[in-house]
Structure 1
Amino acid sequence: MLIQLCNIDQDAITRYTPNDKAVTVISCAYSVGYGANQKTQWIEAELWGERGVKLAEKCVKGRQILLTADDVAIDTFTKPDQTTGFKLKCRVIDIDFTTSANHPAQ
């Protein structure tokens, strides 16, 4: 289980499976460490079904959320510089909005 305060990195994207099930993907991040040792941890959070479709318009870039998720796993990907990157993938249980869509986090 993951409970984390994070910032949405890009507007949520809703796609549909071949069986016509909606999956909304929310890309978000939070900082780990302090000072020169601070790094960004990326999260790809999936919200399945109509709830995700309805929340997608509120999940916009810059907005801060409190994310509660499970089924957390590490996913690897190739960065533009051809090195390997890492992100967390998870299934959303709950999202609490800590900022309004008109006033994103600073």
Structure 2
Amino acid sequence: MADLSLYTGIGRLTRDAEVKTVPSGKAVTQFTVASNPSWNKEDPALFMDCQLWGERGNKLSEYLKRGTKVCVHGTLKQDSWMGTDGTKKTRFKVDVSDVSLLDSRKSEAEAQAGDGSQAMPQGYRSAVEAQVAAVFGSPEVRAQSGFGVAQKPTVQKPLGDDFDDDIPF
């Protein structure tokens, strides 16, 4: 069985995500997440370089802006190279498998529009709608069943009104 080094971290992006294309033609989105695991803020912050491969990273890059709070899941990878001074250098990177946007802040464009809604990537929005429909049914089914519609409370009879009639003595 292979060993696995998983990483899950919550933090803020130190810079806007950069999308690059490697010589093989694959797109890679690179960003850095900074987090401070201590409560007293005296310990130094932890900076994790992250890379997200494929089209998903390309689409998410417009939402991965400096200061955005994210939760990153992935596998730790170690890069090694020889420095200019001849010493061996190493660093860790996270090959990201999942990114969750945790910020509730509006983008500048949305704040100027003033509509109060928060935009989500189209793929994410349709995935959420599909999950809701799978659990609760489509909006039409929910409306027909009365799900989510305020209903008048029912009045229960007090216990004990009919109890005296059932006693055999």
TM range (shorter): 0.7 to 0.9
Which residue is 2:21 aligned to? 16
Aligned-residue offset at 1:33: 3.2
Aligned-residue offset at 1:101: 5.5
Check whether the contact 1:43–1:89 (CA below 8 A) recurs between aligned residues: yes
Aligned-residue offset at 1:90: 0.9
The runs of 5 or more residues in structure 2 that have no matched partner are: 1-5, 81-89, 108-169
Q: What are the Cα deviations for residues 38-97 of structure 1, in whole angstroms up to 9, with x where unaligned? A: 111111110001111001111000000011111x14568xxxxxxxxx864110010111
Aligned-residue offset at 1:14: 0.4
TM-score (norm 1): 0.76
| Matched positions, count | 95
TM-score (norm 2): 0.50
User: Of the candidates 87, 91, 103, which is equivalent to residue 95 of structure 2?
Assistant: 91
Which residue is 2:55 aligned to? 50
% same residue: 25
Following TM superposition, the consecutive aligned residue runs of length 4 or more in structure 1 with deviations greater than 3 angstroms are 32-37, 73-76
The runs of 5 or more residues in structure 1 that have no matched partner are: 77-85
Q: Which structure would you say has the larger Rg?
A: 2
Which residue is 1:61 aligned to? 66
